[in-house]
Structure 1
Amino acid sequence: MKLPQLHRKSKKVYLISAITLFMVEFFIERYVHDSFIRPYLGDFLVVILLYAILMSISKLQVYTAAVVTLIFSYLVETAQYLQLVSFLGLEEYKWSRIIIGTSFSWWDVLMYSLGFLFIILIEQTSYRHIKP
């Protein structure tokens, strides 16, 4: 089955989305210490944030950028499974624990996948509304 070619929004739309999502993620990291929003919604949103950043700085098409973002997210989770931070001796550096992470979770993989599906849904929906 051939996927329809979705048209990109302007880079400005993706950049504004990325900045907004970054601020939401920062707020969650700083001020939300619960058992749902921080661990689940944060992972869901981070995939969308990474996608928005990628779309704002590249010329990739929608599906390609979404898949690249999902694969990158899976690789980060795989690095957590392999305890890459410990293997590289970076435990003492907070930035490495934040960027790479320290604990693998199938729930994270699920949230990344749901974030990917949300990206595709939003892009397809917006494409229908602004068909060229």
Structure 2
Amino acid sequence: MQCLRSQTYTSLRKDRNFLRSTLNALDSFSEGTLVTGGDFNVPLDLKLDTSSGTMTLPDYIIRGTRALLREHQLSDCWRTLHCVDKDYTFYSTAHKSYYRLDYFLMQHRNLDNLISVRIAPMTWSDHAPVTMSIRPPAPPKNNGYGD
């Protein structure tokens, strides 16, 4: 199984091009399964990914991030399995609000390999751990030519 794992931390408010250039670089790894994850500092859906339904982040950053993920055919793995659930990965003491800002992203073509994604309780950090399980893709079928 070929799998490329990437970890990202970004402040899209300060550098909107960082995520675009990172995803463009990852596109060059076209074989296998791409999994990228990290703290993206943006809720993808204000209704579902924030406890208050709002955030001080400008709406164009949220819309632009969603468009970029669509462009690269990346899905939010937790949201794929928890379509309407609310759970959060970050607590802001300044805003007294919870947000889901930490994601695992996977290409659409590999979502069949997704087994589970879990947000664990926040304990000693202001971010909750997120865990994901995937199954290895099936090996290529023998085409009968002695491969």
TM-score (norm 1): 0.29
Structure having the higher strand fraction is: 2
For the pair shown, the structure with the greater C-alpha radius of gyration is 2
TM-score (norm 2): 0.27
Compare relative contact order (CA 8 Å, sep 6+) and give the higher one, 1 or 2: 1
Structure having the higher helix fraction is: 1
